[in-house]
Structure 1
């Protein structure tokens, strides 16, 4: 049986609707706007697993208290180039946007700026924050560590997190070069998309709760590491340079006897680099030339375009901004249910 057709919603109307849902759920208007911006950014770029499909989950987290709708976010730092953001269980898009702006401000003054975030929940698409840094003319690097939900070589069951890495670089004449990748073969949100669509998972992407590889999205519980030991090792290192560095370890707490060890939380580290401080005058122009050089190389297959990281998603964003955002029928029904519960009015689909 083929999956139900997707509902296409105008981007502006979808954004207003999602913001309204969050405000009605008790989120401060300015935080609701930021949370929405990050989620719709992902939807526009085709990262649907981290876009509008996440709205029902965020609403659940606010209702259950897992996420704080009115957090007391504090920026703590004694070092000129370093900030530590105590998130107070703020949703990740709110806390990491604060961190990205702090990293940029400190990089402009010191050449480099780093902002760590501890005690947030679900960071969303990490590429948004490094892109925000790149749009300021700086290079951005981001790491996130979360709850163990991925396998680790030699361990039975979930051991480490599907911790993502992102790097964004401004490039003259081009959308920023943007690498945004998890340390897993597949994201949990992507597994849900396969399940909703009734599709079989790729071989080697996921496993059951006991660690047995499977292509059935209905029993898949654990993503497998990207590149085996390489992805697993990267995840462990990201835990060390975020959670442990910030004095908020997750892995040891989760697998130990800490009563709060299974409480959902995430930590992050964002770094901004000012090219001028490295003697990089004309950095964006040189980066643009580098991308042009890459795209001008001889193709291995004339029918396959050479693209740089972030190029396709930027083009998708242009299309979806004009034509609307496609949303899976199941997700649209969940959003309508949330609207009924909160007294909001869904926008009319474009199709």
Structure 2
């Protein structure tokens, strides 16, 4: 199958119809579908449309559940603990940050701790949500029941991909949005590579023999060519990024988003699947006695962007710039979906009896 540019709006409509077919209410289905397409449009294919087959499988098996709102477990003003009740993660995380923004507006800061959420998707989306409202935010996630990443020096998995995000608003300019998995690559990137997308970096994984590799086979094992590969089926693991430094951050995510929230860490044994999530939201106005915060952020971002680039690079970028550039390109040219991913979506649409016509992007004049 040849890849061709896809219209993002029509693709989102199709994914929305799929989620409604599996029991999600229209509003919830739209939140999740738009999030997946937006993640792909911004270059985060690992958290984009490749996920729809897995979401459908999880909904059918009861691993995640449609139409579950966040349940308040503890409410102490600026500190709120939530239980996601295994609901759709994108909806739940959006609700959690809305609460964080509201409480930070009242108290100056807020800490939101959520357990048992379904896969919340691209973590940077929630840093963007807070930044649009004018708030600084820090985000930590673990994935309970997803022990697929080996800490530094280990040939065995002991943690999840454990993403971190930080957002700083830049009024009148581009916000600072840092979003990264603490594994060298997100698990979804291994899945995209296995489906005909870009290959993984050398040494992104480690086999059970302790040898580093880029072959997704060590992660997915015999399920590699299944409709929905299982990253726990192989004998190997993803590696943490940044050697001991990235490994330390991954373990911190397990302790903060896993132990502290009650979601559970990825210790020995099979835990219950779910995202644990800690978000810290800060109102910068409460600390801005000099009134210089906005100008300082703007001037520093401009300074960094204006630095002389390394040989072979056009310019220095800040976190969030690559995603904005990719989003602009997608808006003009459509979304290029790897052939294997597109085929899986079309097969799923056919199984559900949904019309998948009209997906091809029409070039803008």
Q: Does TM, normalized by the shorter one, top 0.5? A: yes
Map of 1:134 onto structure 2: 131
| Greater CA drift, 201-210 or 59-68 | 201-210
Q: 5+ residue gaps in structure 1?
A: none
Comparing 26-35 and 293-302, the one that deviates more: 293-302
The question of whether the paired residues in 1 share the 8 Å contact of 2:142 and 2:258 is answered with: yes
Equivalent position of 1:189 in the other structure: 188
In the TM superposition, residue 318 of structure 1 has moved relative to its aligned partner by: 1.9
CA distance in 2, matches of 1:12, 1:23: 16
Hey, what does 1:64 align to over in structure 2?
A: 61
1:296 paired residue number? 306
Cα distance in 2 for residues equivalent to 1:301 and 1:213: 29
Residue 231 (structure 1) aligns with: 246
1:89 and 2:86 matched: yes
Deviations 1:20-60 (CA, angstroms, capped at 9, x unpaired) = 11111111112111112221221110111111111111111
Decide which moves more: 98-107 or 300-309: 300-309
Q: 1:288-307 deviations in whole A, cap 9, x for unaligned?
A: 22111111123333743111
Structure 1 pair 275–340 and aligned structure 2 pair: CA distance change class (3 A): same
Q: Deviations over 1:165-214 (max 9, x none)?
A: 00111113432111111111112211122222276532221122554311
- Aligned pairs for 1:1-351 (under 5 A) are 4-146=1-143, 147-197=146-196, 201-209=200-208, 211-220=210-219, 221-252=236-267, 255-256=268-269, 261-279=270-288, 281-301=291-311, 303-348=313-358, 349-350=360-361
Of 324-333 and 75-84, more deviation after overlay is shown by 75-84
Alpha-carbon distance, 1:277 to partner: 0.9
The answer (yes or no) to whether the contact 1:160–1:232 under 8 Å persists in 2 is: no
Which deviates more, 159-168 or 67-76? 67-76
Distance in 1, Cα, partners of 2:218 & 2:261: 35
Give 3-state SS (helix, strand or coil) of 2:36's partner: helix
Structure 1, 306-315 or 164-173: larger mean CA deviation: 164-173
Q: RMSD of aligned C-alpha atoms? A: 2.0
Structure 2 stretches lacking a partner, 5+ long: 220-235
Return the TM-score normalized by structure 2: 0.88
Does the 8 Å CA contact 1:150/1:158 hold for their aligned counterparts?
Answer: yes
Separation in structure 2 between the aligned mates of residue 270 and residue 303 of structure 1, nearest angstrom = 34
Contact 1:92–1:124 (8 Å) recurs in 2:
yes
